[in-house]
Structure 1
């Protein structure tokens, strides 16, 4: 998936959760991504965000700390 499409999808989730109570928004974004994005998508999200969080809504950036980062395949000895 292109980085622009990845940003767009993550930002769409944040747009949805913006209508939720403020104390539930970040957890809602992280929970949704953890439940519905496969490890490859989450891995790509972190590859993009580790380079730059530019283009991501602040709610997505805040949720990154709560999103399960997949382990890199082949990274263990």
Structure 2
């Protein structure tokens, strides 16, 4: 998936949760991404956000610490 498309999708999730009570917003974004994004999408999210969080909604940036970071595949022996 292109980085722009992934940012767009993450920001759309944040837009939805912006209508929720403030205490539930960040947890809601993280929970949604943990439940519905496959490990490859979450890995790409971290690849992009580790370089720069530019373009991500503040709520997505705040949720990064609660999103499960996929384990890197171990190198072949």
Same fold (TM over 0.5): yes
The secondary structure found in structure 1 opposite 2:73 is coil
1:23-55 deviation line (CA, Å, top 9, x unaligned): 000000000000000000000000000000000
TM-score computed with the length of structure 1 as normaliser: 0.96
User: Residues of 2 paired with 1:43 and 1:8: CA distance?
Assistant: 16
The secondary structure found in structure 1 opposite 2:13 is helix
User: Residues of 2 paired with 1:74 and 1:54: CA distance?
Assistant: 30
**Equivalence map 1:1-77=2 (5 Å):** 1-74=1-74
TM-score computed with the length of structure 2 as normaliser: 0.96
The CA RMSD measured in Å over matched residues stands at 1.4
Runs of 4 or more consecutive aligned structure 1 residues displaced over 4 Å after TM superposition? none
Shift, 1:74, TM fit: 1.6
| Contiguous gaps of at least 5 residues in structure 2 | none
| Contiguous gaps of at least 5 residues in structure 1 | none
